[in-house]
Each structure stands twice: as structure tokens, then as C-alpha cells.
Amino acid sequence: MSATRRAAPTLEQVAERAGVSRSTASRAINGGLRVSPEAQAAVDAAVLELGFAPNRAARSLVTRRTDSIALVIPEPDERVLSDPFFAGTINGLGSVLHETDLQLVLVMARPADVATRTVRYLRGGHVDGVVVVSHHRDDVLATELEQAGVPTVFVGRPFQHGHVRYVDVDNTAGGRMAAEHLVRAGRARIGTVAGPQDMSAGLDRLAGWSAALADAGMAADAVAYGDFTSAGGARAASRLLAEHPDLDALFVASDLMAAGALGVLADAGRRVPDDVAVVGYDNLAVATSTTPALTTVVNPVVAMARTAGGLLLDLLAGEAVPEAPVVFAPELVVRASA
């Protein structure tokens, strides 16, 4: 049967046991300022004996703080499952939170639920602040959270304008770097597997690629779209190869999609990089375990998440945080694939 939850000890019981009043017990427990050594000792002992832990709900009610922050990932389960990008995000945020007493609440929301359930949750005062990652064009989070006055920091530039704080990497520059690397390598016909166009990362990487090709006087018409998953990348790559058999280079907007594309190329008998050079994006662990290892653009996921967490902490502490976005510079890592 359901565990018989022995009622948790209350502050009242601690006070009684220590022979002091509730308020004294409370003061002794929080900070211990303005309380006599004897009282302090008595309370400490009582806390230990009873295994007392303050009830966070009751405390929240009066302090109006929850001591927890939410990481919102508006993606279906499958993606959160398979994409190491999110592991990096969770970790970066976690490393910042470790220094504090804040707890991390993970909110994975189906895109369809974001507008209703997730917003309701976040506006309910359940968390002191929010970090949003993997934001889509139609998500209402930016406007809703700003309107509700919930301190929020985005990882990745959101579409909505207004007073939105965010941390990002220059994806346009990243796309450009990838394309320029392929141009420099003497590739003649460069295609791309782009990311979702309802996400700024997808849009920007494509734009960068496109601009670089234009600068080089090359056609930027070989484009297929994936969804940042390995399977999606494979599908997009085969469409692309079917439509443009003359391709000798591919910029794929994420390592995971690139891994899928490599499989398709191998099945098609195209050697990488001899026949087709491939550049990925992200530089997550997967980039080194593919065959051949991926030349890729570094996406500083952990650093971005850590920075976002830091900004949020500043915000919560009431410090002045400039509204200007923090934008990291991308970097190219050359491995065997291009």
C-alpha cells in the first residue's frame, strides 16, 4: 500500500523540543542572527534529532520565492532523448546552480502544450526564473513570460522582439565559416542540409551558408531541410543527392543530422571526403565517433547555458543586467570529413 508518510516534523515541534518559541527556532534555523548561543544549540540539537527540514511550500508562501528555476525545452520527447545538445544545456545550467541553493525544474513540453499548460505552470509562481532553450517561432513564451514579469533568459535568439534577454552564438557566422572552408578546399558544388526554419539557429546557419556562396559566386540552390535529428538528416541528404547528383560538398546544420547524412553517403557509395566533403555543426561528442570524424563548427552549448544561468542569477539577485544579448563567436574544428 501507499507508504505511510509519517508527518514531517514542523517548526512548532522543533521549538517545543528545544524549549523556545517558534520564532526563535525560525531565526536559529535561518541565519541564526540575534539568538543566544544556548537557544541556538538547543534548536540545532532538536533539528538534528527530529530530522527537521523546513516545508518549502509554507516558506514560499511567505517569502514569495520558490528557490527553484525552470529549464524549458519545448520539444517532443524523442528529440530531448536523442539530442546531446540538451544534455549539454542541462549540464551547463546545473553547474551554475550547484553553487546556489536553487533547484532545477526540467520542463519538457510538447510544442502543442507550451501555450497552455507550460505557460500556466510558469506563471503560477512555481519558479523564480526561467531559462528557455530550443525556442520556436510560434512559441508564446517570450511574450507571455515578459508580460507576467517572470525573469527569463533564452538560449538562442527568440523571434519575438521586446525586452528579451538571450545568450547565443553567431550562427550566421558559423554557417559562413563552414561554407567558406568548403570553398577554400576547392569544392565546386556545395549543398546544405538546413535545420528547421522556425528556429533562429536553423535560419541563421542557412543564411550564412548562402551568403558565403554568393560571395564566392556560386549557386546556393541545393537545399534540403531536416529537423536536427539523425533520421531527418538522412532523409534530407538522400533527397538532396537525388536532386543534385553533382554535389561534391555538404554543409549539414547539426552533427546529428550529419551523422545521418554520412550513412546515406556511405550507402550511395560516395566516399567522404574524397567524393563529397561534409561539414557539420555543434561539435558534440557524436562528431568524433562518426566515420570519418566530422569537421564541424563549435556550438558552445555548455558555455551558453552556463552564461544564461549566470545572467538569470544576477536577475534574481536584483542586479542590473544589460539587455544586450551575449553572443559567442563560432569556431571551426577540422577533422577528416572535409
Partner DNA sequence: TTGTACGCGTTATCAG
Partner DNA sequence: CTGATAACGCGTACAA
Contact positions vs a copy of itself (CB under 8 A): 1-6, 8, 51, 53-58, 60-61, 66, 68, 77-78, 80-82, 84, 86-88, 90-91, 94-95, 98, 103-108, 110, 120-121, 123-126, 146-151, 230, 259, 285-286, 289-291, 302, 315-321
Binding residues for DNA restricted to 30-69, rule: CB under 7 A: 30, 34-36, 38-39, 52, 54-55, 58-59, 61-63
Residue in the structure block whose three cell numbers are 550547484 = 98
> What are the two backbone dihedrals, phi and then psi, of residue 299, each rounded to the nearest 5 degrees?
-110, 105
Using CA atoms, how far apart are residues 202 and 207, in angstroms rounded to an integer? 9
Residue in the structure block whose three cell numbers are 505557460 = 119
Question: What, of DNA, a copy of itself, none, does residue 149 touch, CB below 5 to 8 Å by kind?
Answer: a copy of itself
Question: What, of DNA, a copy of itself, none, does residue 189 touch, CB below 5 to 8 Å by kind?
Answer: none
How far, in Å, are 66, 130, 305, 330 from residue 311 at the CA level? Answer: 18, 11, 10, 21
CB of 235 to DNA, least distance (A): 46
CB of 238 to a copy of itself, least distance (A): 18
Query: Which of 1, 62 has the CB closer to DNA?
Result: 62
CB of 26 to DNA, least distance (A): 3
Query: Which of 118, 172 has the CB closer to a copy of itself?
Result: 118
Using CA atoms, how far apart are residues 81 and 334, in angstroms rounded to an integer? 28
Q: Which stretch binds DNA (CB under 7 A): 18-26, 213-221, 285-293, 321-329?
A: 18-26
CB of 118 to DNA, least distance (A): 18
Using CA atoms, how far apart are residues 81 and 29, in angstroms rounded to an integer? 41
Q: What is the 3-state secondary structure (H, E, C) of 120-178?
A: HHHHCCCCCEEEEECCCCCCCHHHHHHHHCCCEEEECCCCCCCCCEEEEECHHHHHHHH
- Burial of 53 (C-beta count, 10 Å sphere; 0-12/13-18/19+): exposed
Query: Which of 197, 291 has the CB closer to a copy of itself?
Result: 291
Question: What, of DNA, a copy of itself, none, does residue 26 touch, CB below 5 to 8 Å by kind?
Answer: DNA
Residue among 17, 27, 135, 306 that touches DNA (CB under 7 A): 27
CB of 9 to DNA, least distance (A): 8
Using CA atoms, how far apart are residues 171 and 165, in angstroms rounded to an integer? 17
Query: Which of 26, 210 has the CB closer to a copy of itself?
Result: 26
Contact call for residue 20 and DNA (CB under 7 A): yes
CA angle 143, 207, 88 (to 5 degrees): 60
Contact 173, 280 (CB under 8 A): no
Residue among 12, 49, 99, 138 that touches DNA (CB under 7 A): 12
For residue 111, which amino acid is it? P
Contact 135, 166 (CB under 8 A): no
**Which residues contact DNA (rule: CB under 7 A)?**
7, 10-12, 20-24, 26-27, 29-30, 34-36, 38-39, 52, 54-55, 58-59, 61-63
